[in-house]
Amino acid sequence: METETRDEKLGRAPLGKLMVSLAVPAVAAQLINVLYNIVDRIYIGHIQGYGDVALTGVGVTFPIIMLISAFSAFAGMGGAPLASIELGKSNYSRAERILGNSAGLLVIFSVFLTVFFSIFKIPILYAFGASDVTIVYAKEYISIYLIGTVFVQLALGLNTFISGQGAARTAMLSVLIGAVINICLDPVFIFGVNMGVKGAALATVISQAVSAVWVVHFLVSKKSVIRLQLKNMRLKKDILMQIAGLGISPFIMQSTESMVSITLNSGLQRYGGDLYVGTMSIMTSIMQLIVIPVQGITQGIQPIISYNYGAGNKDRVQKTIVRMILVCLTATLLLGGIAVLKPEVYAGIFTDNVELEKLTCQVMPVYFLVITIFGIQSACQTTFLALGQAKVSLFIALLRKVILLIPLAIILPKFMGVNGIYLAEPIADICSILTISVLFIFIIRKILRNMEKNVMMSSSKEKEEQRHE
């Protein structure tokens, strides 16, 4: 009875209480997930003698890590909203087929990514901004990290299906277990066993493996509303097309993060040097601290929108969207405001190098200026995903990074030097947010009107059937 009522609460429970119960564990899970990389960087940055250089080297591996995460988002975030919509329609068998096909994709992606990056990691790392000084640390970290690719794919990709059925606390525990193990093992491997950067990577692989086992165990158990079964992992073209249509947007959002990192790191290396690349390694981690809680909020609330959209509950969909936008905007105003007004609060966490900390504090207020209102874009993006609006989600994903940020980061330094690279971010952000806000107003109105028409038609049809009876 417990598994039957959990998904039904998405359509019936008091909205405010439901949003809190789903969003809080999701935010916690996202923040804990960030610890996998950030804790590594904090420990690495404090290694005696070469911590600052090692930190820069590990920062160069970030695009590869983001690409691996992007493939998990393709299958997980492409499939989970579809499964939630099917749950709203009480179509459990279809939801399980979507889960199974997503899992099948994740396994295929794992094999491909492990082989590809293991073979080509050296030229890729140099292309991502590594120097002859930092390449050794970048290579050490990513070589071990790649061994755990399959665990990353399963842990991140399938956990969305746990939160998508309203089991937010279980989804949070999936991440918490791995993070606690990672935090405990990091100092042991880095300093105790004296493995340095290799120890940080090994701790991450072990922790991700435990998280993956936890996630899979839940999804095959009776506790899950939809069950992961081998028979459903056989890929079906119609399901794959649906997953791909929706998954391409979060994939581009995360994979283009790698393209952005490549562009920014290579530009900073060219116009500034290793110290400037180091500032980006720190600010990338800070960006995660700001954006990840918002992603947790949207990930927790998304199943409510998807479920009620599938069930035809227009009023509930509308109220959820409005509240999500307000909460996300408040979060980025607070977290981004600290980076703009008090950059030293964040910068000092990641390095003991006075010169690196000083430079980071100088550039951070400019770089994060418009991130303070980024919550608007994040909420709009998630709404389109939750409603199955693949084309609009794809455009939004491309706009900020591919169409705006990357070209600006290449063009501006030619006229403004290294400062142009830091300015590219706020300019791209404000243009993107304004465009998306206008699109959102027009498209959501249309979707809500169509929902109202469908409800009226359905009600009219039911009355007609009752007359005939």
- Predicted confidence at residue 187, as pLDDT, reads 87
- Predicted confidence at residue 3, as pLDDT, reads 45
Query: What residue segments make up the domains of the chain, in order of their start?
Result: 9-460
- Predicted confidence at residue 253, as pLDDT, reads 76
- Predicted confidence at residue 370, as pLDDT, reads 92
- Predicted confidence at residue 4, as pLDDT, reads 43
- Predicted confidence at residue 461, as pLDDT, reads 53
- Predicted confidence at residue 1, as pLDDT, reads 36
CA distance 141 to 344: 28
CA distance 349 to 355: 14
pLDDT per residue as tens, the chain (469 positions): 344 445 567 777 778 888 888 888 878 777 776 666 667 777 887 777 777 788 878 878 888 888 898 899 899 988 988 888 888 788 889 999 999 999 999 999 999 999 999 999 999 888 877 778 888 888 989 999 999 999 999 998 999 899 888 777 888 888 888 888 988 898 899 888 888 888 888 998 999 999 999 999 999 998 888 899 999 999 999 999 999 988 887 888 778 776 787 788 888 888 888 888 888 878 888 888 888 888 888 888 888 888 888 778 888 888 999 999 999 999 999 999 998 998 888 887 777 778 888 898 999 999 999 999 999 998 998 888 888 787 787 788 788 888 999 999 999 999 999 899 999 999 999 999 999 999 998 888 888 888 766 655 555 554 454 455 5
CA distance 136 to 54: 9
Q: What is the pTM of this model?
A: 0.71
HEC letters along the chain: CHHHHHHHHHHHCCHHHHHHHHHHHHHHHHHHHHHHHHHHHHHHHCCCCCHHHHHHHHHHCHHHHHHHHHHHHHHHHHHHHHHHHHHHCCCHHHHHHHHHHHHHHHHHHHHHHHHHHHHHHHHHHHHCCCCCCCHHHHHHHHHHHHHHHHHHHHHHHHHHHHHCCCCHHHHHHHHHHHHHHHHHHHHHHHHHCCCCHHHHHHHHHHHHHHHHHHHHHHHHCCCCCCCCCHHHHCCCHHHHHHHHHHHHHHHHHHHHHHHHHHHHHHHHHHHCCHHHHHHHHHHHHHHHHHHHHHHHHHHHHHHHHHHHHHHCCHHHHHHHHHHHHHHHHHHHHHHHHHHHHCHHHHHCCCCCCHHHHHHHHHHHHHHCCHHHHCHHHHHHHHHHHHCCCHHHHHHHHHHHHHHHHHHHHHHHHHHHCCHHHHHHHHHHHHHHHHHHHHHHHHHHHHHHHHHHHHHHHHHHHHHHHHHHC
CA distance 376 to 464: 43
